[in-house]
Structure 1
Amino acid sequence: MKRLFAPAPDSLLGQLRSPLYMRWQAGLSLFALVAVFQGPLALRHPVGAWLAPTLLAVPLFVYLYSRVYLAPRRYVQWYVAGMTAVALVLWVSNPFAFVLLALAAVLSAFAESWRRWLANVAVIGALALGKAWIFGDPLGQALAVAMAGLFGGFSNVAYVCSARKDAELRLSQAEVRRLAVLAERERIGRDLHDLLGHTLSLVALKSELARRLALAEPGRAQREMAEVERVARHALTEVRAAVTGMRRGDLAAELTSARLMLEASGVAFEGGLPDGFELPQAIEAPLALVLREAVTNIHRHARAGRAAVSVSIEDHMLHMRIGDNGRGGLTAHGNGVSGMRERVHALGGTLSIDSPPRRGTMLSIRVPLPMQAAVPVEARGIARPALPATGSAA
Structure 2
Amino acid sequence: MTARLSTDTPMSLSWFKPTPDSLWNRFRDRPRQRISGLLNLVWAVYVFGDLIFANELGPGWGLATALSFPIFLLLYAAAYIRPLRHVTWYAGAVALLSYATLKFNHTGGASYIIYACAMLGFEGQPKKCFVGMATVVGGFVAVTYLMMDWSLAVVAMMSFIALSVGTVNVVYRFNAQRDVELKLSHDEVRRLAATAERERIGRDLHDLLGHTLSLITLKLELSRRLFDRDADAARREIEEAEQVARHALAEVRSAVTGIRASGVVAELASARLLLTASMIDFVYRADVPELPPRVDNELALVLREAVTNIHRHAGATFAEATVSMDDRACTMTIVDNGRGLANGEGNGICGMRERVRTLGGTLAFESAAQKGTVVRIHVPLVPADRLPPVDTRQDESLPSERDRLAS
Q: TM-score range by the shorter chain?
A: 0.3 to 0.5
Question: How high is the TM-score relative to the length of structure 2?
Answer: 0.46
Question: How high is the TM-score relative to the length of structure 1?
Answer: 0.47
Higher relative contact order (CA 8 A, sep 6+): 2
